[in-house]
Chain A
Amino acid sequence: MEELKRILLVEDSPNDIELTLSALESNHLANEVVVVRDGEEALDYLYRRGIFKLRAEGHPAVVLLDLKLPKVDGLEVLEKIKADPELKTIPVVMLTSSREEPDLKRSYMVGVNAYVVKPVDFLDFVEALKEIGLFWAVLNQPPPGSVSRLG
Chain B
Amino acid sequence: MTSEQFMQLARLMPEPMLLVSDEGRILAANPPALEALELEEEAYREANLLDKVSNPPEKIREYLGACAESRQIVLGALCSRRSDGSNPVFRCEGAAVRPRTEEPPAILLLRLKPREPGGGRLAELNKKIEDLSREVSERRRMEEALRASEEQYRTVTETASDAIITIDQEGSIIFVNRAAGKVFGYGPEEMIRQKLSLLMPDYHRYVEVASAVIGDAPAAREPVELSGLHKSGREIPIELSFGEFERGGRHMFTAIVRDISERKRAQEALIMRVHEAALGAEIGAVMAETDILTNTLQRCTEAIVRHLNAAFARIWTLNQAENVLELKASAGMYTHLDGGHSRVPVGKFKIGLIAQECLPHFTNSVIGDPRVGNQEWAKREGMVSFAGYPLTIEERVVGVLAMFSREKLRDHTANALASVANILAQGIKRKWVEEEFRQLNESLERRILERTAQLEEANRELESFSYSVSHDLRAPLRHVSGFAELLQKRAASSLDESSLRYLKTISESARYAGTLVDDLLAFSRMGRAEMRRSLVRSDAMVREVIEELSIDTRDRAISWVLGELPEVQADPAMLRLVFRNLLSNAVKYTRDRAEARIEVGSRAEGDETVFFVRDNGIGFDMKYVDKLFGVFQRLHSAERFEGTGIGLANVRRIVVRHGGRAWAEGALDAGATFYFSLSIYREQGDHGRTEANPAC
A19 and B479 contacting across the interface, CB-CB below 8 Å: yes
Cβ–Cβ < 8 Å partners of B514 in chain A: 119-121
B510 close to chain A: CB less than 8 A:
yes
Interface members, chain B 468-486 (any A CB < 8 Å): 471, 474-475, 477-479, 481-486
Report the bound CA distance from A145 to B483 in whole Å.
Answer: 37
Asked if A19 meets B478 with Cβ closer than 8 Å, knowing A99-B525, A101-B529, A120-B514, the reply is yes
User: Is the Cβ of B510 less than 8 Å from the Cβ of A120?
Assistant: yes
With a CB–CB cut-off of 8 A, which chain A residues contact B484?
122
A: residues with CB less than 8 A from B are: 13, 15-16, 19, 22-23, 97-101, 118-123, 125
CB < 8 Å neighbour of A119 from B478, B483, B521, B529: B478
Q: Are B478 and A101 in contact, with the CB atoms below 8 A? A: no
Contact yes or no, B511 A121, CB < 8 A: yes
- A98 → chain B, closest Cβ, in Å? 7
Distance between A101 CB and nearest chain B CB, rounded to angstroms: 7
Q: A16-B475, A23-B482, A122-B507 are in contact. List 20 more A-B contacts (CB 8 A).
A: A15-B475, A15-B479, A19-B483, A19-B486, A22-B482, A97-B471, A97-B478, A99-B525, A100-B467, A101-B525, A119-B478, A119-B514, A120-B474, A120-B510, A120-B513, A121-B510, A121-B511, A121-B514, A122-B481, A125-B482
Closest 6 CB pairs of A and B: A120-B514, A122-B482, A122-B485, A19-B482, A15-B479, A122-B481
Q: B485, A123: Cβ atoms under 8 Å? A: yes
Q: What 0/1 readout, one digit per residue, does chain B (282-304) give for beta carbons within 8 Å of chain A? A: 00000000000000000000000
Q: Are A15 and B471 in contact (CB under 8 A)?
A: no
Q: Which residue of A lies closest to B513 (CB)?
A: A120
Decide if B517 is an interface residue (CB 8 Å cutoff): yes
A22, closest chain B residue (CB): B486
Write out the residue numbers on chain B whose beta carbons fall within 8 Å of the beta carbon of A100.
467, 525
16 A-B pairs within 8 Å (CB atoms) are namely A13-B475, A15-B475, A16-B475, A19-B479, A22-B486, A23-B482, A99-B525, A100-B467, A100-B525, A120-B515, A120-B518, A121-B478, A121-B481, A122-B482, A122-B483, A123-B485
Q: In the complex where A120-B510, A120-B514, A120-B518 touch, is A125 in contact with B478 (Cβ < 8 A)? A: yes
Q: Is the pair A99, B517 in contact by a Cβ cutoff of 8 Å?
A: no
Q: Complex Cα distance A15/B485, Å?
A: 13
Q: Point out the residues of chain B lying under 8 angstroms from A15, CB to CB.
A: 475, 479, 482-483
Interface size on B, residues (CB 8 A): 24
A98 to B517, CA, bound (A): 12
Smallest CB-CB separation from A120: which chain B residue? B514
How far in angstroms is the closest Cβ of chain A from B477?
A: 5
In the complex, the chain A residue whose C-beta lies closest to that of B508 is A121
- Residues of A near B485 (CB, < 8 A) are 122-123
Distance between Cα atoms of A98 and B514 in the complex (Å)? 13
- B517's closest neighbor in chain A, by CB? A120
Contacts of A123 in B (CB 8 A): 485
In the complex, what residues of B have CB within 8 A of residue A122's CB? 478, 481-486, 507
Closest CB in chain B relative to A26 CB, distance in Å: 8
Q: Which residue of B lies closest to A20 (CB)?
A: B482
CB contacts (< 8 Å) of A16 on chain B: these are: 475, 478-479
> From B472, which residue of chain A is reached at the shortest CB distance?
A97
Q: Is the CB of A120 within 8 A of B477?
A: yes
User: Considering only CB atoms, which chain A residue lies closest to B516 in the complex?
Assistant: A120
Task: Choose from B478, B483, B525 the contact partner of A120 (Cβ within 8 Å).
Answer: B478
Contacts of A99 in B (CB 8 A): 521, 525
Q: Complex Cα distance A131/B514, Å?
A: 21
**Most chain B beta-carbon contacts within 10 A, residue among A99, A121, A125:** A121
Instruction: Return A100 CB to nearest CB of chain B, in Å.
Output: 8
- Measured between alpha carbons, how far is A16 from B521 in the docked complex, in Å? 21
Q: A118, B478: Cβ atoms under 8 Å?
A: yes
Q: Quick one: CB contact mask for B589-610 with A, threshold 8 Å, 1 for yes?
A: 0000000000000000000000
Question: A19 contacts which chain B residues (CB < 8 A)?
Answer: 478-479, 482-483, 486
Contacts of A120 on B, CB cut-off 8 Å?
A: 474, 477-478, 481, 510-511, 513-515, 517-518
CA A1 – CA B517 in complex, angstroms?
Answer: 39
Chain B residues with Cβ below 8 Å from A125 are 478, 482
Q: Which of A15, A121, A122 has the most CB of B within 10 A?
A: A122
Note all chain A residues with C-beta closer than 8 A to B467. Answer: 100
Residues of A within 8 A of B474 (CB): 97, 118, 120
User: Please, which residues of chain B bring their CB within 8 A of the CB of A22?
Assistant: 482, 486
| Residues on the A chain within 8 Å of B482, using CB | 15, 19, 22-23, 122, 125
Which chain A residue shows the least CB distance to B488?
A122
Min CB–CB distance B646 → chain A (angstroms):
15
Chain A CB within 10 Å, residue with most, of B471, B477, B529: B471
A19 to B481, CA, bound (A): 10
Residue among B478, B511, B513, B525 with the most chain A CB within 10 A?
B478
Most buried by B among A13, A118, A120, A121: A120
Residue of A with least CB distance to B476:
A15
Taking CB atoms, residues of chain A closer than 8 Å to B513 are 120
Residue of A nearest to B530 (CB): A101
Min distance, Cβ A33 to any Cβ of chain B, angstroms: 17
**Measured CA separation A15–B514 after assembly (Å):** 17
Output the least CB separation between A123 and chain B (Å).
7
Chain A residue at smallest Cβ distance from B484: A122
A118: B residues at CB distance < 8 A: 474, 478
What distance in Å separates the Cβ of B516 from its nearest Cβ neighbour in chain A? 10
CB proximity of B648 to chain A, nearest CB, Å: 22
Alpha-carbon gap, A125 to B475, bound state (A): 12
Bound-complex Cα distance A19 to B480 (A)? 10
Nearest CB of A to B386, in Å = 73
- Residue of A at shortest CB range from B478? A120
A74-B204 Cα distance, complex, nearest whole Å: 106
Chain B residues with CB under 8 Å of A101's CB are 525, 529
Interface residues of B in 453-474 (CB under 8 A from A): 467, 471, 474
A12 to B510 CA separation, bound complex (whole angstroms):
22
What's the least CB distance linking B478 to chain A, in Å?
Answer: 5
Residues of A within 8 A of B481 (CB): 120-122
**Contact A98 to B471, CB < 8 A, known contacts A15-B483, A122-B481:** yes
Task: Name the distance in Å between A13's Cβ and chain B's nearest Cβ.
Answer: 7
Output the least CB separation between A86 and chain B (Å).
33
The answer to whether A97 touches B475, judged by C-beta atoms less than 8 angstroms apart, is yes
The distance in angstroms between the C-alpha atoms of A118 and B485, with both chains bound, is 16
Q: How far is the CA of A105 from the CA of B61 in the complex (A)?
A: 140
CA of A29 to CA of B457, assembled, Å: 48
Complex-state Cα separation, A101 to B513, whole angstroms: 23
A98 to B482: give the CA distance in the assembly, Å. Answer: 18
By a CB distance below 8 angstroms, the chain A residues around B529 are 101
- A73 vs B513: C-alpha distance in the bound complex, in angstroms? 27
CA distance A123 to B483 in the complex (A): 11
Which B residue sits closest to A126, measured CB to CB? B485
| B312 → A minimal CB distance (Å) | 64
For the complex, give the distance between the alpha carbons of A118 and B477 in Å: 11
Cα distance, A114 to B485, chains bound together (Å): 27
Q: Which residues of B contact A121 (CB under 8 A)?
A: 478, 481, 510-511, 514
Find residues 497-548 in chain B having any chain A CB closer than 8 Å to their own CB: 507, 510-511, 513-515, 517-518, 521, 525, 529
Per-residue CB contact flags for chain B residues 230-263 toward chain A (1 = under 8 Å, else 0) read 0000000000000000000000000000000000
Query: Bound state CA distance, A21 and B474, in angstroms?
Result: 19
Chain A residues positioned under 8 Å from B471 (CB to CB) = 97-98
Q: What's the nearest-Cβ distance from chain B to residue A138, in Å? A: 23
Query: Taking the nearest CB of chain A, how far is it from the CB of B476, in angstroms?
Result: 8
